[in-house]
Amino acid sequence: MAAALHFHGPRGPGSANQHGAIAFTTWQLLRFVLRAERVDAEVLCSGISIYLLAALLWAHFYLLAQTAVPGSFSMPAQASGRQELSFFDAVYFSLSTLTTSSYGNIAPVSRHARSLASLEALCGVLYLTVLVSRLVSLYVKSPIPPDRDDPKL
């Protein structure tokens, strides 16, 4: 699991492949959820996976913003004195922004980073709203299976 989260930075080996794989997988899962005719465990797990993969995708965007505009994020000084956004920090910031539960220990400073954070928070709230309404509507429309203990059958 830890090896899957290893990141060499926006210019490092495989970063474009990682970004593309995450985006492709997220898109395919989203298509699956939106085309589902009924709610089952696969649809629910796909919906959750989309949310978590979106957080990883946004983390890549934050790392790109940090590369394009160094100092895009303000964060507490680390023991090494390093103020650079690591992949772990980007995922942490992304998850806290997507869920709108940010703790304020990492803050976007540049206009690009603030715009990305605002957009991610908006996408997180809208995704949950749309997903829940879609799943509830599918659940309401799905036929109720007959009771096997019903003597009329």
pLDDT tens readout for residues 74-94: 887 665 556 788 899 999 999
Residue 2 lies in a domain: no
Residue 8 lies in a domain: no
Residue 24 lies in a domain: yes
| Residue with token string 């985006």 | 23
Is the CB of residue 49 less than 8 Å from the CB of residue 29?
Answer: yes
Query: In terms of residue numbers, what domain contains 32?
Result: 14-73+84-141
Q: How many domains is the chain built from?
A: 1
Q: Which two tokens stand for residue 118?
A: 């605002």
Spatial CA neighbour of 43 closest among 139, 148, 143: 139
Q: Which two tokens stand for residue 151?
A: 């003597």
- Say which residues have a Cβ less than 8 Å from residue 44's Cβ, sequence separation at least 6: 135
Residue 151 lies in a domain: no
Residue 27 lies in a domain: yes
Residue 65 lies in a domain: yes
Residues in the chain: 153
Q: What is the pTM of this model?
A: 0.78
Q: Which two tokens stand for residue 13?
A: 């080996």
For residue 128, the domain's CATH number is: 1.10.287.70
Residue 95 lies in a domain: yes
Q: Which two tokens stand for residue 90?
A: 């980007």
Segments of the chain scoring below 70 in pLDDT:
1-15, 77-82, 144-153
